[in-house]
Structure 1
């Protein structure tokens, strides 16, 4: 069985650089097993993510249960910022664990609980109570996601050497993309309304995926560490500020990451412009799920390898590509034939999803590779908490600009992306190349 696991892992992951770099000697005999279990557990999470998606499925859920439209604006902030903001606060608890994998298991359980709550809302509630219950269940889900996000990078850094981490994230992306493509095609073939019963079934299936994932992930052979019992009287907020103030490289990384939100925040505006120009035909649930699935399938393996070679350059070039795509889209809107075409908006959405995947894999690999030990946990937590705040600020700015139309918001994102790409070139190289 061990030989089979080694063989499978060798087919999926090509070692780059020193195969023992950055991990404890007790973890070295278990790299293949640990890598496969992390792929399996996180692939189950990726499958669930395609269903509990604040940009696609959950808006359909809100519409199906008749929730007030004003509550739609809270879905993405609660899902994204809600999974980032708590991380600095929960870091002391995670660092006191001998095995950080149990934080991931707890987070997966919370996500399963949140998804199950969303399914119950679909079946039993309507109107304002349904909308508020969705927000509450999504908040529980987001806290669970914060735990998984924080623990997964730490466990990956402690059990898998440099040169292989980006590829593991890439394989996970491919597997979740394959599911997204199958789900999207299934919804397109369904042909009928996406009703409450179907949504509830999908959400319960997502909850089951997290349960399977936590069982698989619990088998990771993680070297135990001495619990961190350092004095926390100064508070997590003060410690986070001290890290940002004193660590210039980390501070620059957080700034660059904040400026590279162009690929993350542009797609909703592209879709809104498309709906305004083409009507509701672009708002089909299956279309957006398919686009995300295709992007993951195409980019997962490629970007995973590139992240292991240079996560810094991957972030920079994907940001450049996102800015170029968005600019090209805005210019094509000035051409009447292109503006009225049926391919411009979905094609732009797909390409932005693809380059966003590269940006995301690049920055995830960069933050894992740039530190060792408990320092990695601090980097992940503080950067994500800072990003939660900055995401809310960026979202507010683009929301204000969108009062005058979606184009000004896209122009702002392009400008920020160009600045981020220029600053990203000055980050130090931390990958195995």
Structure 2
């Protein structure tokens, strides 16, 4: 047994039956590919913490004196920008035999975009800096779009069913360690009030992490030709493949299981859209101290650390159930938090107020970790080959549009009060 086989077997509960169904060239590389996927995904998730649109970028905008109006577009651009173009890009992706190269290009695009943000944080200020960072964030989202399309294919081609959820969970756990370290570093170095220069170094670290992601991904041995017995050849002909919008609508209309997945996934937005509102609510009610930037990043890291180990194996057993339970629990947490906040005389000041918001942020992020691991595992297991690519791209494009609508409505409600936005997100679950 090779060293990679030993390490992989110690980390992942193997599925011998599923492995035997994979082609011989895939079976030989399951362990080294699995370890590379864990490392690459962990580095990527760690990089995400350095350019988090819910925490780091709003703090940076405040430090640079960017008008508050621009802060409201950060999360929609980050999330929708990485989803909406995917259906349109699918015909191009299907022409590429080795999908890992699409991921590598996307990683380098993200590295370049974050480098621009870092330079702007160090040298810019005011509205101009805000506009440049928002534009760079849009480019960053496009790079993530490429990675999102390709990553599910690469994992489906190289890792058998029954092990994919554990791969996602291990990567999430590793990223949690990094997030905790990052949060502690922020609190030690900058306390509650980081300067723009300090945040510029944080962003520069993120750019370096995405370069490392690309370097790790280059080593993945993706099979030539069919990755599974049902894997079709990439199609290069004109016609149906290129009519991406018609094909997307046909897929949603005629494929009932896929349509059900998209519908259910659209109802899981509570865990992804509510954390920024929790942060804003904590600020409005006077919370400080623990509820600073470092505190929220630490809470996010601990949630990833715990959730990655718990939810990975659960996703391999029943990813559908994991998504449902995670979303329902997130809604209950939001409702309970709102119920406490609206009590007469409540204030975020003091230790109890701080702990409430950190606990709420941690709990929702933990549930989001479960939903995310379950969703990724479910969509990879739904189909094989190019059909998997279409499922990922069309579902993400549809969710990008839904995210814009739901995000816009929740933002409008937030103008009245943050509480109404949170309740709006929680009730559909």
Q: Secondary structure of 2:28's match? A: helix
2:295 to 271, 287, 298: 287
Report the alpha carbon displacement of residue 196 of structure 1 after superposing the two structures with TM. 2.4
Matched, 1:269 2:277: yes
Q: Secondary structure of 2:428's match? A: helix
What does residue 305 of structure 2 align with?
Answer: 297
Q: Secondary structure of 2:285's match? A: helix
Report the alpha carbon displacement of residue 281 of structure 1 after superposing the two structures with TM. 4.4
Q: Secondary structure of 1:19's match? A: helix
Distance in 1, Cα, partners of 2:128 & 2:369: 35
What does residue 211 of structure 1 align with?
Answer: 211
Instruction: Report if the CA contact (8 A) 2:291-2:357 is conserved.
Output: no
Report the alpha carbon displacement of residue 21 of structure 1 after superposing the two structures with TM. 6.5
What does residue 361 of structure 2 align with?
Answer: 349
Instruction: Report if the CA contact (8 A) 1:338-1:344 is conserved.
Output: no
1:302-330 Cα distance to aligned partner (Å, 9 max, x none):
10110001000000111121121112222
> Gapped runs of 5+ residues in structure 1?
418-433
2:416 to 404, 408, 432: 404
1:375 to 376, 379, 387: 387
Q: Secondary structure of 2:105's match? A: helix
Instruction: Report if the CA contact (8 A) 1:40-1:217 is conserved.
Output: no
Report the alpha carbon displacement of residue 349 of structure 1 after superposing the two structures with TM. 0.9
Distance in 1, Cα, partners of 2:329 & 2:64: 38
State TM-score, norm by structure 1.
0.92
Report the alpha carbon displacement of residue 12 of structure 1 after superposing the two structures with TM. 1.1
Report the alpha carbon displacement of residue 239 of structure 1 after superposing the two structures with TM. 1.2
Compared with structure 1, are the counterparts of its residues 322 and 279 closer, same or farther at alpha carbon in structure 2 (3 Å cutoff)?
Answer: closer
What does residue 98 of structure 2 align with?
Answer: 99
Instruction: Report if the CA contact (8 A) 1:112-1:210 is conserved.
Output: yes
Distance in 1, Cα, partners of 2:21 & 2:198: 46
1:98-156 Cα distance to aligned partner (Å, 9 max, x none):
10000010000001101111111112222121111101111111111011111011100
Distance in 1, Cα, partners of 2:21 & 2:418: 45
- The residue correspondences of 1:118-129 to structure 2 (distance < 5 A) are 118-129=117-128
When structure 1 is superposed on structure 2, of 248-257 and 10-19 the one drifting more is 10-19
Compared with structure 1, are the counterparts of its residues 260 and 205 closer, same or farther at alpha carbon in structure 2 (3 Å cutoff)?
Answer: same
> Gapped runs of 5+ residues in structure 2?
226-232
Matched, 1:76 2:75: yes
When structure 1 is superposed on structure 2, of 385-394 and 39-48 the one drifting more is 39-48
Distance in 1, Cα, partners of 2:7 & 2:287: 47
When structure 1 is superposed on structure 2, of 281-290 and 131-140 the one drifting more is 281-290
Report the alpha carbon displacement of residue 269 of structure 1 after superposing the two structures with TM. 2.2
Compared with structure 1, are the counterparts of its residues 334 and 126 closer, same or farther at alpha carbon in structure 2 (3 Å cutoff)?
Answer: closer
Compared with structure 1, are the counterparts of its residues 163 and 255 closer, same or farther at alpha carbon in structure 2 (3 Å cutoff)?
Answer: same
Q: CA RMSD in A?
A: 1.7
Matched, 1:227 2:227: no
What does residue 317 of structure 1 align with?
Answer: 325
Compared with structure 1, are the counterparts of its residues 67 and 338 closer, same or farther at alpha carbon in structure 2 (3 Å cutoff)?
Answer: closer
Q: Secondary structure of 1:53's match? A: coil
Compared with structure 1, are the counterparts of its residues 412 and 289 closer, same or farther at alpha carbon in structure 2 (3 Å cutoff)?
Answer: same
Instruction: Report if the CA contact (8 A) 1:22-1:372 is conserved.
Output: no
Distance in 1, Cα, partners of 2:408 & 2:196: 31
Instruction: Report if the CA contact (8 A) 2:20-2:27 is conserved.
Output: no
- The residue correspondences of 1:27-426 to structure 2 (distance < 5 A) are 27-192=26-191, 193-225=193-225, 226-232=233-239, 235-281=243-289, 284-336=292-344, 341-342=352-353, 343-417=355-429
Compared with structure 1, are the counterparts of its residues 277 and 284 closer, same or farther at alpha carbon in structure 2 (3 Å cutoff)?
Answer: same
